Structure 1
């Protein structure tokens, strides 16, 4: 089988890094097209041996990109097209149909109750989404919560399959030596209690809640924010105004880099934390939470379908927080005061191993590449 993955961009983000990890575990010959922004994840894919094509799309209404994408699909001889993220799903499904490929799968990574990829979910967005969805064979939801949202939108249940995001369990397994080295590299005091947050620094992630919570905690508490984005300057200003700027560390974007690359990678930074906090009020899956659980961290979250869709006993170290800075500060203090749990991987994280997710996706591929039965001829006799 030969598959083409089409994604809106390849800067660092959850969907982008999930695609790279997935391609390492799919027993399929895969190429990738990025409509725009061939960032560091594109470099990583190329290093992995994946062919990446940048379509050079100028914007959402660059219709000239459609015939270019159609030609690329047609000449590539692909058996299946798999799209990721809103713009790529719209253009990719249509181009695949125009190129004669009927096996079209789209993964819905980011559909929330009120927004998708930071875009408010108005009637126009919904109508365009549903029009594009009808051009595909299957929509993959990254959680049962997202599947329910798709059904409420009007996507027929038989066209939805749940394939959760996956993580590399071995990479995130806790290593005390890596923790010590990373904390020293970051210049953290030995007695620092480190609150961690991972994700794009956007308004929707609500990392300002953690900055304000830090101001309510003793001076030996530090905040480690892993990620980049347009809200970084706002968060820095918030930290300065709250008097905690000297206890907030910004690492910038950290992809899954090979050993020996400049700066610690994401698993190393996770190991350096003492508690993980995710104040984002609306998530489609909660990948960073699952990665933190895999590292054995206690987790405080506002929204995480990946945890909420499983039995409570599968993630004993995870606790949902309803409220703002004051509630998060109290929860952080209570977590520190409690008897520490051993840094082991709970059942919830084991449920989301990348090998399992890749296997479930292959089942979807097998289902959509089965030729539709031809209409039976009616005998004239």
Structure 2
């Protein structure tokens, strides 16, 4: 089987890094096309031996990209097309059909109740999404919560498959020497209690709540913010205004897998943390939470379908918190007062192993290809 993955861009983000990790575990010949912004993940894919195409799309309404994408798909001889993120789904599904590929799978990574990929949902966005969805074979939801949202949107239930995001457990396994090395590299005091936040620095993630939380805690509490985004300067200003700028470290975007760039990778940073806090009120999966659990960290979160879809015992170290900085400050203090926990991997992290996710996706691929190669009932009757 030969598959083409179409994604909006390949900057360092959750969906983009998930695609790179997935391709390392899929027993399929895969190529990738980025509609725009090849970014750092494109370099990583090339280093992994994956062929990456850049379509050079100028914007959401660059309709000239459609015939270019059709030609690329026709020339590639692909058995299946898999799209990721909204723009790639809207352009990729019709392009695949026009190119003669009938096995078309799309993964919905970032559908919330009120936003998609950090942007407000509108009637137009929904209508365009549903129109293109009808051209696909299956829509993959990264959690049962997203599957329910898709059904409420109008996607037929039989066309929805749940394939959770996956985590490379070996990469995130806690290593004490890596913890000490990373903390020294970051200039963290030996006795610092490090609270972590991971994700795109955008308003929806509510990282300002974390900064104000740190301001309510003793001076040995530090905040390690991993990510980049449009709110970076706002958050730095918030830290200054709250009087905690010297205790808030911004690492920028960091890869899950070493890519040769300076600075520690994400597993090294989770090893350096004592607690992860995710105050985002609307998540489609909660990958940062699962990665933290894979590193043996306790977690406080506002929304995490990955945890909420499992029995409570599967992630005993994860606790839901409602409210603002005062509520989170109380919860952080309670976690610290309980003392350090063994950095063991809970059942929830094992449930979301990337090997399990890749195997489940292969089932979806097999069904899509089989269905696309079977003659229609009408065709069978007329033959």
- State if a TM-score over 0.5 links the two structures: yes
1:133-172 residue pairs with structure 2 within 5 A?
A: 133-172=133-172
Offset at 1:339? 3.2
1:75-114 residue pairs with structure 2 within 5 A?
A: 75-114=75-114
RMSD: 1.1
Residues paired across the two proteins, number: 379
Q: Per the alignment, in what secondary structure is the counterpart of residue 255 of structure 1?
A: coil
Question: Quick one: distance in 2 between partners of 1:256 and 1:121?
Answer: 29
Show structure 1 runs of 5+ residues with no match. none
Offset at 1:260? 6.6
Offset at 1:119? 1.6
Q: 1:259 to 1:191 in 2, by over 3 A?
A: farther
Question: Quick one: distance in 2 between partners of 1:297 and 1:92?
Answer: 38
TM-score w.r.t. the length of structure 2 is 0.97
Offset at 1:257? 4.1
1:194-205 residue pairs with structure 2 within 5 A?
A: 194-205=194-205
Match of 2:188 in 1: 188
Offset at 1:340? 2.3
Match of 1:122 in 2: 122
| Contact 2:44–2:259 under 8 Å retained in 1 | no
Question: Quick one: distance in 2 between partners of 1:208 and 1:262?
Answer: 27
Match of 1:303 in 2: 303
Offset at 1:258? 2.6
Q: Deviations over 1:187-232 (max 9, x none)?
A: 0000000000011101111100000000000000000001111111
Q: 1:71 to 1:259 in 2, by over 3 A?
A: closer
Match of 2:338 in 1: 338
**Equivalent in 364, 373, 377 of residue 381 of structure 2:** 377
Match of 2:245 in 1: 245
1:1-381 residue pairs with structure 2 within 5 A?
A: 1-258=1-258, 261-370=261-370, 371-374=373-376, 375=378, 376-377=380-381
Q: Deviations over 1:136-186 (max 9, x none)?
A: 010000000000000011110100000000010000000011000000000
Question: Quick one: distance in 2 between partners of 1:222 and 1:103?
Answer: 49
TM-score w.r.t. the length of structure 1 is 0.98
- Decide which moves more: 305-314 or 250-259: 250-259
Q: Per the alignment, in what secondary structure is the counterpart of residue 252 of structure 2?
A: coil
Show structure 2 runs of 5+ residues with no match. none
Q: Per the alignment, in what secondary structure is the counterpart of residue 184 of structure 2?
A: helix
Offset at 1:123? 1.0
Q: 1:326 to 1:65 in 2, by over 3 A?
A: same
Question: Quick one: distance in 1 between partners of 2:381 and 2:328?
Answer: 67
- Decide which moves more: 118-127 or 292-301: 118-127
| Contact 2:284–2:304 under 8 Å retained in 1 | yes
Question: Quick one: distance in 2 between partners of 1:261 and 1:212?
Answer: 31
**After the TM superposition, which parts of structure 1 deviate over 4 Å for at least 4 consecutive aligned residues?**
none
Q: 1:149 to 1:260 in 2, by over 3 A?
A: closer
